[in-house]
Amino acid sequence: MTRKLQLGRPSRQPASPAEAVLDTVPNPEPGAVYVARFTAPEFTCLCPVTGQPDFAHFVIDYVPAKSLLESKSLKLFLASFRSQAAFHEATTLTIGKRIAAAVRPRYLRIAGYWYPRGGIPIDVFWQTGKLPAGVWLPDTGVRAYRGRG
């Protein structure tokens, strides 16, 4: 029995990332080599030390193979972190690894630009393998944090 996609029907926000399901759909162009990008500029989770909110801007680029990542399930997955406490590095890698496991892309890169904690921004980058030859991967478009100076 095949599970129904979350797309096109009411779906509740998962209580945790472990409960979240990342849906995939068939790639209509599985022979083409191209980049698909998701940008999530308003990500939130909790600091594991203080319990205060942490904020990040994620840019997720991937070169699909047989499957595409369905965006509603990605939104629900990212929202499931709101009540979760974890360090920036662990959160960024968890997101990247879950997406890679669900989609099995030819290549994936996640860039996590975290807003300053204690005055220091922490940016975390992770990728699977090497970018396929001949594929143009644009810059993430996120400027380095400059502060008020």
Domain membership flag for residue 130? no
Domain count of the fold of the chain: 1
Tokens 């308003």 sit at which residue?
42
Label residues 86-105 b or e (16+ Cβ within 10 Å = b): bbbeebbbbbbebbbebbeb
**Mean pLDDT value across residues 82-98:** 97
Query: pLDDT tens-digit profile of 107-128?
Result: 999 999 999 888 888 999 999 9
pLDDT-derived band at 148 (thresholds 50, 70, 90) equals low
The model's pLDDT over 6-64, given as tens digits with 9 standing for 90+, comes to 777 788 889 999 999 999 999 999 999 999 999 999 999 999 999 999 999 999 999 99
Q: 103 in a domain, yes or no?
A: yes
Q: Can you give the CATH number for the domain in which 73 is found?
A: 3.30.1130.10
Instruction: Report yes or no on 109 lying in a domain.
Output: yes
In a domain, 83, yes or no: yes
Q: For residues 7 and 30, what is the distance between their CA atoms, to the nearest angstrom?
A: 21
Q: Is 133 domain-assigned?
A: no
How buried is residue 73: exposed, middle or buried, by Cβ count under 10 Å (0-12/13-18/19+)?
A: buried
Tokens of 56: 């990040």
Q: What is the domain extent for residue 40?
A: 32-57+68-121
Per-residue confidence (pLDDT) for residue 2, from 0 to 100: 56
User: How much is the pLDDT for 144?
Assistant: 78
2 burial via Cβ count (<10 Å: 0-12, 13-18, 19+) = exposed
**Is 95 within the bounds of a domain?**
yes
Which positions are catalytic? 47, 54
Is 110 a domain residue?
Answer: yes
Residue 9 lies in a domain: no
Above 50 in pLDDT, residue 91?
Answer: yes
